[in-house]
Amino acid sequence: MVNYKELGLVNTREMFAKAIKGGYAIPAFNFNNMEQLQAIIMAAAETKSPVILQVSKGARNYANQTLLRYMAEGAVAYAKELGWEKPEIVLHLDHGDSFELCKSCIDMGFSSVMIDGSHLPYDENVALTKKVVEYAHQFDVTVEGELGVLAGVEDEVVADHHTYTRPEEVVDFTTKTGCDSLAISIGTSHGAYKFTPAQCTRNAEGRLVPPPLAFDVLEGVEKELPGFPIVLHGSSSVPQEEVDTINKFGGNLPDAIGIPEEELRKAAKSAVCKINIDSDSRLAMTAAIRQVMAEKPAEFDPRKYLGPARDNMKKLYIHKIVNVLGSDGKAV
C-alpha cells in the first residue's frame, strides 16, 4: 500500500477549485507508454500547467500497474529535473468499472479515480459511486462520477446515441455520493469518429462539420450545481493535419471527426475544469511513425520513429494547454 502523497502527486481538489475560478480547464491526457508520458511531462513543465495523467483499465493491463506507479513517481522527479519547482501532477484512473479496480489503484498510489457507473440504473450508479467515495476519501483521494452516457465506446460498452445528462439529477447524485467532480454528457464522444457523416454538414472544402455540443445542458447543470467541478470526456478534436498525414502515408481513417476547438475553449471557460484527451495523442503518434516508416524504409531503430512521435505529441499537448484549455502558467 502506498499513498500518492509519498510519490509527490496531488489530488484534484485544489486544482479544480482554482480552474473554475480562473476560467480554464486542466488537461487530462491518457498515457500507456514512456514516450507519451515524457511528452506530457515536458509539455506541462515547459508551460507550467497542472496536469492529470490518466490511466484506463486497458492501459493498466497493457503497462502493468506496478510499473505505472513507478512511472508516475518518476514523472514527478523528471518534472523537477526539467525546472518545474512544484509540479502539480495527478495520477487518475479513467473509467474505473468496479469498486475493486478503484481500490486497487488507490492502494497503488493513484491520487484520483473515476468510477463510471453511467451505464447502470441510477440507484446502482449512486450506490457504487458512494462506496468508492467512502473508501477513497479515507486517503484523501478524489473521485469523479458520471451521469449520462456518451455515444461511442465507453467502458467497453458501445452506445449508438448520447443520453444527455439530466440537470435535474445532478444535485441528488452529487449529494448522495459525495463525489468530487462529475463527468457529463453533452454530445462529446470517445474515439476518432465522434459523429457519422449523416450527423454532419460539409463545408466549402468538403470537410465534415459536426453538430454543436448541447451547451444548454451544461448551463442547466451549472445552474443546479454552481461552482461544482464538471468533466468533459471524449474531447479530442481529431486534428485534420494528423489524419491527412496518416492517410497520406498508408493509413485509412476516412471521415474521422472530433470536437471543434472553439467549443472546447468555450467549455474550458465554464465550470468544465477537466477535459479528457486521448485520441489526439494517438493520432499525433501514429502520424509521425507512419511518416518515418514511409520516408525511411531502411530505418529500424525504434528511437528514430518513437522520437519524432514524442516530439509531435509534445507539440500537440502544448497547443492544447496554451491555445485550448488555457492552463499554462497556472502551476508555477
> For binding to ligand 13P (CB under 6 A), which residues are involved?
30, 94-95, 190-191, 233-236, 276-280
* C-alpha pair distances (Å), 180 with each of 200, 252, 296: 35, 40, 49
Per-residue binder mask for ligand G3H (CB under 6 A), 211-240, x = binder: ------------------------------
- Please say if 140 is a catalytic residue: no
- Which one, of 29, 56, 19, 83, lies nearest residue 316 by Cα? 29
CA contacts within 13 A on the Cβ side of 306: 10
Under 8 Å between Cβ of 118 and 39: no
58 binds, among ligand 13P, ligand G3H, Zn ion, none (CB under 5 to 8 A by kind): ligand G3H
Residue range at the interface with ligand G3H (CB under 6 A); choices 51-59, 70-78, 117-125, 283-291: 51-59
Of 77 and 120, which CB lies nearer to ligand 13P in the complex structure? 120
Whose CB is nearest to Zn ion?
A: 233
Q: Is 233 in the site for Zn ion (CB under 5 A)?
A: yes
Q: Residue 80 and residue 41: Cα distance in Å, rounded?
A: 10
- Give the count of residues interacting with Zn ion (CB under 5 A): 1
Q: Residue 118 and residue 106: Cα distance in Å, rounded?
A: 21
Neighbours of 18 (CB within 10 A): 17
Q: Is 149 in the site for ligand G3H (CB under 6 A)?
A: no
Which H or E element spans position 55? strand 51-56
Query: How buried is residue 301: exposed, middle or buried, by Cβ count under 10 Å (0-12/13-18/19+)?
Result: exposed
- Which one, of 199, 230, 236, lies nearest residue 217 by Cα? 230
Q: Residue 258 and residue 242: Cα distance in Å, rounded?
A: 12
Q: Residue 231 and residue 99: Cα distance in Å, rounded?
A: 20
Which residues make Cβ contacts (< 8 Å) with residue 206, sequence separation at least 6? none
277 binds, among ligand 13P, Zn ion, ligand G3H, none (CB under 5 to 8 A by kind): ligand 13P
Q: Grid coordinates 448541447 are at which residue?
A: 214
Q: Is 278 in the site for ligand G3H (CB under 6 A)?
A: yes
Under 8 Å between Cβ of 231 and 183: yes
Q: Is 116 in the site for ligand G3H (CB under 6 A)?
A: no
Neighbours of 142 (CB within 10 A): 25
Of 56 and 327, which CB lies nearer to ligand G3H in the complex structure? 56
Of 29 and 173, which CB lies nearer to ligand 13P in the complex structure? 29
Residue range at the interface with ligand G3H (CB under 6 A); choices 55-63, 106-114, 238-246, 262-270: 55-63
Q: Which of 12, 49, 56, 327 binds ligand G3H (CB under 6 A)?
A: 56
Measured from the CB of residue 285, what is the shortest distance to ligand 13P in angstroms? 13
Measured from the CB of residue 297, what is the shortest distance to ligand G3H in angstroms? 29
Measured from the CB of residue 274, what is the shortest distance to Zn ion in angstroms? 11
Q: Is 92 in the site for ligand G3H (CB under 6 A)?
A: no
Q: Is 58 in the site for ligand G3H (CB under 6 A)?
A: yes
Q: Residue 71 and residue 54: Cα distance in Å, rounded?
A: 12
Of 58 and 211, which CB lies nearer to ligand G3H in the complex structure? 58
Measured from the CB of residue 70, what is the shortest distance to ligand G3H in angstroms? 20
Measured from the CB of residue 234, what is the shortest distance to Zn ion in angstroms? 6
Set of cell numbers at residue 85 = 519547482
Q: Residue 260 and residue 181: Cα distance in Å, rounded?
A: 24
Under 8 Å between Cβ of 196 and 153: no
Q: Which of 40, 43, 52, 59 binds ligand G3H (CB under 6 A)?
A: 59
Per-residue binder mask for ligand G3H (CB under 6 A), 8-47, x = binder: ----------------------x-----------------
Q: Residue numbers of the site for ligand G3H (CB under 6 A)?
A: 30, 56, 58-59, 94-95, 190, 278
Active-site positions? 94
